[in-house]
Structure 1
């Protein structure tokens, strides 16, 4: 074990100094920073500068309360409104004529504003309601009775999923859990896309430069293997801690934003924390271990960087299939294809967090799938250790497929002997 720790430290020191590792960490942060800046500067302009030309002061009071528009009450005539529109002081103005019982409404706006003025239907509803109230008053009908007749019906939503235990009620954070599910699926995909590639490349470089012969002269293949695996796990932990630290530093500034506060008000924190249970992280850990160990197997039969890139391709494709299955599962978590795929260990880390967060899987199924993943991990580890020991010092001038075939032949002959 001490030699495995030494190998882990050496691999860690090498990879932490590499450009690829820091690019993996900083590039997503750069993208998020750009998106945050765009969001920050556009959020302040979310209200549409608008004017109203009308002789009815009650209409101005009604439109002032509408969110999404900023009503300039200093503009009162069509000439002033048109001039303000030409000077880009406003983006639209309403010109309302006629009596309250028969309103004539026209909106004049700059090109393309109709798409950004998303509350136009709300304004139409307000003015229609105002006109109806005026007509009711003119006809001698009680306005309160009209208001009661126009009152909308509140619809309460209760979502269930069908499990082996019958109908189970879903939580109130469906929208939020969907976002978290997407984020977890993307994170798993990025980890599986990047870190297995590191171990394959490391092993191919050590074999290609014959450094492997020096290393194995003072340690065993198993110690070398576990040292490499530990280095990858520590790198993932460092990656996670760096992101956690950055989020902790920025959170006091981010949570004060109005848009973020609106989202937080919609979330039932206790229920959300209950949904983020330990099972999710167990499946992610098992999935990462399976992919990293399989990458070590592929790296052990590679003899150069070119072989390493070819070797990692099947694993990358499997990861992509799992990611796309997870994306499909976000909107269809109870589809038979998604349920069956969640039992496949190579796809479980992508799909099971989604099924758990959306509460579409029973506890019994969770344990069954977890046992399948553990057994598959043990099988992959057993096979990899055999090939790892037999092929670390075997060099092949052929392509990767030939190298795999040669590795099987070597293991077969060793087993016979």
Structure 2
């Protein structure tokens, strides 16, 4: 075991001390804190530059009715809008020219037809201006309701009863279904953790394959396997890089938690609410760790196997293309289930070992599954990892001694034959 831990330590520390790893980790942590405080930074910059004073949008209003303009000002103020309304007597053509010349941003022409229905024509330079027109339309709709209520001699209480919402509750008779609120909270958490598992498996699997190929290209491998068995070397590499990956993920998680908890921004509260972190399910997090580890060892073993077949780091990407296709397929299948995790093909896919880390995690995170389903999936993955490890050790034993250009996966047979000799 001494040789195993030496290689384990070497794989962990060598990657941990590289500039790329340190810089990437530092940049990601800095990005997390920047994201959590972005609104505070914007407020600080605006307060220093004074740009916030000029940020209020000015809306010019032409009111042919004589009453709607003042009502619009009152309603926008009641809605706590930052829009400054200026009533003007200029013609539509003059205002249109001013918009084109950049002198003003927008204007609206208001009027009442013969049936006391409000007519409004909004004009601005941008065709993608949606927020302000929607605010104006909502305010005018409220004014229209007041006009109609006055004509019908309705009191304020009677008007409010017209907009009383119904009581509507959605239920599912499926024994695995969660409530809509629980499903919404779980969906965001599962989505974030799925991305974490997906990118982690890709990044660290490629790291293992590249590390093995680099040792082969420098002929260091010949020295290593003379003092330690190739299988022990392979699993020490996998555990070393995997431990480094876990440390990095923990650092990112702690940085994100501290940054979001220490930030006083309303955006952070919204982030926690939308993505389900405000009511985090401990069981979902435990399953995330389990499927992260199993997915990593599954794909890392396959990456080590494939990495042993190449002699140049330039050939790594081509050789591990099947691995990348598998994890991309798993992510795409899981992503289709975010809207409806009860689809039948997801159930079947969750028991396929190369899809299970993402698909079964999606199902256990968003559904109330019987315990035997995730346990069966975990058991299938463990058996697959064992078989892949046994087969990978045989390939690895001969693959690390193969040099020259790697043609294709047909080199597996050659590696096994060489390992027997």
Are 1:297 and 2:305 an aligned pair? Answer: yes
Residue number in structure 1 paired with 2:378: 370
Q: Deviations over 1:247-268 (max 9, x none)?
A: 24422453x2223334546687
SS of match in other structure, 1:334: coil
| Residue 309 (structure 1) aligned with residue 317 (structure 2) | yes
Q: What residue is the counterpart of 1:407 in the other structure?
A: 415
CA distance in 2, matches of 1:275, 1:32: 25
Q: Tell me the residue number matched to 2:369.
A: 361
Report the Cα offset of residue 159 of structure 1: 4.7
Q: Does structure 1 retain, via aligned residues, the 8 Å contact 2:32–2:255?
A: no
Whether 2:233 is the aligned partner of 1:219: answer no
CA deviation digits over 1:207-256, x for unaligned, max 9? 222211211233232332232112111210221133134324422453x2
Q: Give distance in 2, aligned partners of 1:266 and 1:214.
A: 54
| Cα distance between partner residues in 1 of 2:374 and 2:75 | 54
How many pairs were matched up?
403
**Shift in alpha-carbon separation, 1:231–1:251, aligned structure 2, 3 A:** same
Q: Tell me if structure 1 keeps the 8 A contact 2:178–2:366.
A: no
Q: Name the structure 1 match of 2:150.
A: 134
| Native 8 Å contact 2:330 2:355 kept in 1 | yes
Structure 2 counterpart of 1:195, from 204, 210, 215:
204
Of 257-266 and 314-323, more deviation after overlay is shown by 257-266
The answer (yes or no) to whether the contact 1:161–1:169 under 8 Å persists in 2 is no
Distance 1:385 1:65, change over 3 A: same
1:242 aligns with 2:251: yes
CA RMSD, aligned part only? 3.8
Offset of residue 308 of structure 1: 2.6
Residues in 2 aligned to 1:263 and 1:304: alpha-carbon distance in whole angstroms: 44
Report if the CA contact (8 A) 1:100-1:130 is conserved: no
More displaced 10-residue stretch of structure 1: 281-290 or 115-124: 115-124
| 2:82 aligned counterpart, secondary structure | strand
Q: Aligned partners of 1:313 and 1:322: how far apart in 2?
A: 14
Using a 3 Å threshold, how does the CA distance of structure 1 residues 352 and 394 change in structure 2: closer, same or farther? same
Unaligned runs of 5+ residues in structure 2 are: 47-51
Q: Within 2, Cα distance between the matches of 1:299 and 1:289?
A: 15
State the 1:106 CA deviation: 2.6
Name stretches of at least 5 consecutive residues in structure 1 with no aligned partner. Answer: none
Equivalent of residue 123 in structure 1, options 139, 146, 170? 139
User: Using the alignment, how far apart are the partners of 2:177 and 2:206 within structure 1?
Assistant: 41
Q: Give the direction of change, closer, same or farther, for the CA distance of 1:49–1:272 in structure 2 (3 Å limit).
A: farther
Note the 1:45-84 alignment, pairs <5 A: 49-50=58-59, 55=67, 57=70, 59-66=72-79, 69-72=81-84, 75-79=86-90
CA contact (8 A) 1:280 1:352 kept: no
* Aligned-partner Cα distance in 1 for 2:150–2:318: 76
The 1:223–1:242 alpha-carbon spacing in structure 2 relative to 1, beyond 3 Å, is same
- Give the whole-Å Cα distance in 1 for the aligned partners of 2:138 and 2:342: 36
